[in-house]
């Protein structure tokens, strides 16, 4: 039986169903211990040039568990009761191996800030191996902060507690928001010191995804003119992750089309929730359309279309409003790398589907945020004008959208609480009149709409300052705030009693925290 973080036993959903219907069905659910969890590594069987085989470098001080994620454990049928065992921290903190793991660092290259870098690769992460669950789904387990690899360049191969907490919590937040992401199984730290701008605590995070293959993996073989490896990689990805295309005569072209589609959809979701990745280099782009490589990301507090979350991004290449375009730019790098496998004209046609796909998905998401059911030609302008008002008023993105659900369409409603977020009351009133007419045109019912909107406009997001508070406490060995945020962010759309403070705008100290790549 699973247990929650406070140690109380909770009944698994499937058991509840069985009990309430009083049906004598014995559903066998595999619950692995560390000893019965079995690993494989299909990536290790690819040609040698794809990777460097090596084990994690253990910390010199023993690793200890900071937090672990029962939902992620469930994906690999691992019993969360295993979390408290020292063997768990050892295995997922780089100090022990399990049979079948075959750890390796993956090779890739990529375009960083628009410039091609011929060799990158996992410089501090190690693919431990894959676990196949009861449902036949494969999960890569990737240990970030696992020590130097042949791809470390000038780096030390380590990650710090600060950045691993940010990655761990944001994976949970994205998952809660329904945005495709790598998952994080656990966060393990050690007394070992790691040198950044200051001395910090070393830590490792285990992330999980069906695959960690990046755009940059295709690029490395294209630019090295190793086209046979490029084909091997494409076949590997198609076989394992797009099996429906395996026997398709145009499988490489169709594969590219799917990647375009998933990327467009992913970025539309980022835009709708007000999230910036911060380092959208092609080596940080997942071939499965997952949010990957959490660094200096940020959820917006005050709405600013030009929001730059990465302190090192001086030119704003990865500013919030550039992300849709950068998605396309990155896809065109992938297209270039696929030239040996697919006709150029076909790739070009694939790229041309991106913008309409993105627009359609973004508009769909935004209409839902505004509680609109039909699509009308004037919606675009209505939405754009609202964003302009938000920007001009420095209004809080998350709070205002949540508040928008309280909008009343009754004749003389002033919508005072919402109006207070805007500097110009006249402009707000003018917009509100248009919104009211638009809602009335589709006979929108205030209560129904409120309920619908609250399912798409989160109340809680991982604001930078919230993560920062958890980090500061963790640096004093108090992990309670990590646990609190982790629990909170799993249900970001639900009003959670006693958690009102977490839905407020940041205090002054937390408004413009600087986050850079040095993690
Ligand atoms: P990122 O900007 O985090 O996506 O990293 C870009 C490249 O730098 C990747 O090849 C990483 O593996 C590598 N890298 C980042 N930090 C370190 C580090 N501390 N040690 C070694 N390699 C690193
Ligand atoms: Mg990266």
pLDDT of residue 478: 98
For the Cβ of 100 lying below 6 angstroms from any atom of ligand 1, the answer is no
Identify the pLDDT of residue 516.
72
**Is residue 162 predicted with pLDDT exceeding 90?**
yes
Residue to probe by mutation, ligand 1, list 123, 154, 313, 317, most atoms within 8 Å of CB: 123
DSSP string computed for 59-126: -SSPPEEEEE-HHHHHHTTB-GGGGGSHHHHHHTTTS---TT---EEEP--EEETTEEES----SSEE
User: What distance in Å separates the CA atoms of residue 170 and residue 5, rounded to the nearest whole number?
Assistant: 18
DSSP code, position 222? H
Residue 68 CA, distance from chain mean position: 17
The pLDDT score that the predictor gives to residue 55 is 98
Ligand nearest to the CA of 106: 1
**Where does the pLDDT of residue 6 fall: very low under 50, low under 70, confident under 90, or very high at 90 and above?**
very low
Statement: residue 20 has pLDDT above 90: no
313 lines ligand 1 (CB under 6 A): no
**What is the tens place of the pLDDT at every residue in 313-357?**
999 999 999 999 999 999 999 999 999 999 999 999 999 999 999
pLDDT tens, residue by residue, 102-123: 999 999 999 999 999 999 999 9
- Quote the pLDDT of residue 519: 73
Checking if the pLDDT of 4 tops 60, the result is no
Ligand nearest to the CA of 519: 1
Rounded (10°) angle between helices 251-273 and 227-241 = 70
- Residue 440's pLDDT band (boundaries 50, 70, 90)? very high
Whether residue 340 has its Cβ less than 6 Å from ligand 1: no
For atom 5 of ligand 1, the residue with the nearest CA is: 123
The pTM for the full model equals 0.94
Residue 70 scores a pLDDT above 90: yes
Q: Which two tokens stand for residue 248?
A: 């398709």
In this predicted structure, the answer to whether residue 264 has a pLDDT above a threshold of 70 is yes
- The two counts, helices (H) then strands (E), for the chain are 17, 13
Tokens of 452: 């619908």
Q: Look at residue 30 in the predicted model and tell me its pLDDT.
A: 83
First to last CA, the chain: 37
pLDDT at position 401 over 60: yes
Query: Residue 3 pLDDT > 80, yes or no?
Result: no
Question: What DSSP state is assigned to residue 249?
Answer: T
More confident residue, 513 or 308: 308
Q: Closest ligand 1 atom, CA of 159? A: 19
Output the pLDDT for position 512. Answer: 86
| Ligand 1 atom at minimum distance from 279 CA | 2
CA 388 to CA 303: how far, in whole Å?
Answer: 9
Cβ of 121 closer than 6 Å to ligand 1, yes or no, is: yes
Q: Point out the catalytic residue in the list 283, 293, 301, 313.
A: 283
Which atom of ligand 1 has the smallest separation from the CA of 283?
4
358: pLDDT strictly greater than 60: yes
pLDDT at 5: 34
Q: What is the pLDDT of residue 517?
A: 66
Tell me whether residue 283 is one of the annotated catalytic residues.
yes
Contact 267, 324 (CB under 8 A): yes
DSSP string, 362-395: HHHHHHHHTT--S--TTHHHHHHHHHHHHHHHT-
Q: Which residues, 6+ apart, have CB-to-CB distance to 444 below 8 Å? A: 371, 372, 373, 409
Q: What pLDDT sits at residue 242?
A: 98
CA-CA distance, 299 to 318, in Å (whole number)?
A: 14
4 and 10 Cβ atoms separated by less than 8 Å: yes
Identify the pLDDT of residue 370: 98
Write out pLDDT tens, residues 170-200.
999 999 999 999 999 999 999 999 999 999 9
- How would you label 106-133 residue by residue, b for 16+ Cβ within 10 Å and e otherwise? bbbbbbeeeeebeebbbbbbbbbbbbee
The residue whose C-alpha atom lies closest to atom 22 belonging to ligand 1 is: 123
**pLDDT band, very low/low/confident/very high, at 26 (cuts 50, 70, 90):** low
Instruction: Retrieve residue 347's tokens.
Output: 């790739």
State how beta strands 183-195 and 199-209 pair.
antiparallel
State if residue 156 touches ligand 1 by the CB under 6 angstroms criterion: yes
130 touches ligand 1 (CB under 6 Å): no
Region of poorest pLDDT, from 87-96, 290-299, 338-347, 507-516: 507-516
Tens of pLDDT, residues 455-480: 999 999 999 999 999 999 999 999 99
Report the chain's mean pLDDT, rounded to a whole number: 94
């Amino acid at each position: 039986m699973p247990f929650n973080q406070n140690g109380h036993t909770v009944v698994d959903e499937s058991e509840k169903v069985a009990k309430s219907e009083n049906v004598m069905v014995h559903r066998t659910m595999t619950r692995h211990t560390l000893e019965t969890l079995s690993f494989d590594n299909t990536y290790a069987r690819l040609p040698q040039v794809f990777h460097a085989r090596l084990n994690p470098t253990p910390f010199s001080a023993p690793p200890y568990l900071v937090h672990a994620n029962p939902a992620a454990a469930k994906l690999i049928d691992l019993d969360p009761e295993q979390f408290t065992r020292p063997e768990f921290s050892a295995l997922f903190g780089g100090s022990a191996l399990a049979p079948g793991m075959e750890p390796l660092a993956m090779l890739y290259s990529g375009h960083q800030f628009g410039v091609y870098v011929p060799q990158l690769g996992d410089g501090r992460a190690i693919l431990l191996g894959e676990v196949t669950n009861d449902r036949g789904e494969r999960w890569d387990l990737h240990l970030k902060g696992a020590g130097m690899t042949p791809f470390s360049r000038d780096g030390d191969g380590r990650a710090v507690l600060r950045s691993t907490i940010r990655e761990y919590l944001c994976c949970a937040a994205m998952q809660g928001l329904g945005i495709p992401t790598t998952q994080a199984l656990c966060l393990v730290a050690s007394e070992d010191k790691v040198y950044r701008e200051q001395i910090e605590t070393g830590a490792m995070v285990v992330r999980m995804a069906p695959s960690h293959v990046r755009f940059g993996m295709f690029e490395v073989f294209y630019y090295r003119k190793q086209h046979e490896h490029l084909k091997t990689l494409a076949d590997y990805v198609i076989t394992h992750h797009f099996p429906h295309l395996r026997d398709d005569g145009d499988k490489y072209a169709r594969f590219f089309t799917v990647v375009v589609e998933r990327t467009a959809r992913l970025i539309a979701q980022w835009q709708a929730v007000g999230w910036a990745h911060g380092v959208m280099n092609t080596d940080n782009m997942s071939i499965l359309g997952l949010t990957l490589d959490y660094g200096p990301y940020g959820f917006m507090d005050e709405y600013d279309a030009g929001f730059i979350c990465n302190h090192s991004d001086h030119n704003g290449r990865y500013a919030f409003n550039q992300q849709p375009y950068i998605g396309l730019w990155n896809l065109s790098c992938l297209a270039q790398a696929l030239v040996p496998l697919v006709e150029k004209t076909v790739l070009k046609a694939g790229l041309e589907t991106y913008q309409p796909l993105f627009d359609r998905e973004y508009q769909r998401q935004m209409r839902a945020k505004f509680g609109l059911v039909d699509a009308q030609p004037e919606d675009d302008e209505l939405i754009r004008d609202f964003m302009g008002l938000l920007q001009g008023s420095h209004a809080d993105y998350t709070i205002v959208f949540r508040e928008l659900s309280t909008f009343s369409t009754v004749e003389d409603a002033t919508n005072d609480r919402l109006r207070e977020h805007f500097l110009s009351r006249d402009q707000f009133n003018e917009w509100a009149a248009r919104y009211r007419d638009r809602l009335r045109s589709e006979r929108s019912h205030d209560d129904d709409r409120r309920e619908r909107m609250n399912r798409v406009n989160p109340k809680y997001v991982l604001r930078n300052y919230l993560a920062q508070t958890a980090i500061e406490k963790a640096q004093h060995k108090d992990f309670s705030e990590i646990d609190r945020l982790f629990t909170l962010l799993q249900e970001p759309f639900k009003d959670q009693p006693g958690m009102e403070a977490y839905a407020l705008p940041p205090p002054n100290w937390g408004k413009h925290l600087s986050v850079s790549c040095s993690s």
